Amino acid sequence: MKIVIDAMGADQAPGVEVEGAIQAIKEFGYDLILVGDQERVEAELKKHKFRSDKLSVVHASEVIEMHEPAAISVRRKRDSSIVVGMDLLKKGKADAFISAGNTGAVVCAATLSLRLLPGIERPGIAICIPVLTGTSLIMDVGANIDPKPMHMLQNGIMADAYCKYILKKDNPTIGLLNVGEEESKGTDFIKESHTLLSESKLNFIGNIEGRDIYSGKADVVLCDGFVGNVILKVSESVVDTIVQLLKREIKVNIIATIGAALASSAFNELKKKLDYSEYGGAPLLGVDGRCIISHGSSTAKAIKNAVKFAGESIKQDVNKHIIEELESY
């Protein structure tokens, strides 16, 4: 099992990627390839005095920065870590690719290089979130910010397969995120998506609202990539804000300070549940290959967990199940 890591992707690249890769080799024993500026990557490796025949470095002279337009930069920067890494996957020299870099560029490179699964017109990113009843899947969280209704149906089918075979949920419920529960609500795009999903074989439970996401009303929350991206970032930020506001309130009250110290174990457990880095990455579904998208602000721990997640993805082979589902339509 061989996993390629884009070493230049995260905000703290290549430090976090190198450290995460070292931790992952020690913990899981996978073979890893770091793709990026060889000199910088090796300087990081030196810091950790790490050598292993399980780790190799492939040089890529260019980096696609976060601010660069996706399609143009993928076409122009043929020697970027994203394009070179994706190429290794394409050529069968690796079984999965992980990047914390420019999401649009990863999606674009994956689509161009790996190609799409038969029946899929656009890929989508599915992410697991902790909800009151366990775990739900939001799709899409940023691959396709301006989808057509047909893409929502395709995302529904892919998310359904993911839920069944990876999250082991029987007959997962699929909800369409809208501004109200009623069929009459929403934009034309949402109404058309609703019609397509209603007519499908999916266990479609209709429209759900923003408040229903974390209560776990649906196993799969379908939304366009723009809305999904906003939901994720807002959710993270609400958690941070609550913690900060609570700290302020607690500071002015000595009894509350003692109380908070005593309750800290509960806080830490909760923090762990909500901590993005525990998951590490989200699969890009719909491309013919295993591609994991990590957070730009990934820590070494997040990269390590992305490797763990990539390893599981290789074993589970979700694409086989997605293709079977698509063929049954």
Q: Which residues bind a copy of itself (CB under 8 A)?
A: 66-69, 104, 130-132, 142, 145-146, 177, 179-182, 184-188, 190, 209-215, 223, 225-227, 229-242, 244-246, 249-250, 253, 255-256, 258-267, 269-270, 273-274
**Smaller CB separation from a copy of itself, 84 or 227:** 227
Give the three-state DSSP class for 201.
Answer: coil
Contact in structure between 282 and 293 (CB atoms under 8 Å): yes
**Smaller CB separation from a copy of itself, 239 or 314:** 239
**Smaller CB separation from a copy of itself, 31 or 209:** 209
Enter the tokens of residue 74.
Answer: 């993928």
**Smaller CB separation from a copy of itself, 22 or 127:** 127
DSSP string, 14-44: THHHHHHHHHHHHHH--EEEEEE-HHHHHHH
Least gap, CB of 228 to a copy of itself (angstroms): 9
DSSP string, 45-93: HHHTT---TTEEEEE--B---TTS-HHHHHHH-TTBHHHHHHHHHHTTS
Contact in structure between 81 and 8 (CB atoms under 8 Å): yes
Least gap, CB of 273 to a copy of itself (angstroms): 7
Least gap, CB of 199 to a copy of itself (angstroms): 21
**Smaller CB separation from a copy of itself, 229 or 299:** 229
Least gap, CB of 229 to a copy of itself (angstroms): 4
Least gap, CB of 54 to a copy of itself (angstroms): 35
Amino acid (one-letter) located at 141: V
The separation between CA 163 and the C-alpha centre of its own chain, rounded to angstroms, equals: 15
**Smaller CB separation from a copy of itself, 43 or 72:** 72
Contact in structure between 310 and 6 (CB atoms under 8 Å): no
Least gap, CB of 301 to a copy of itself (angstroms): 20
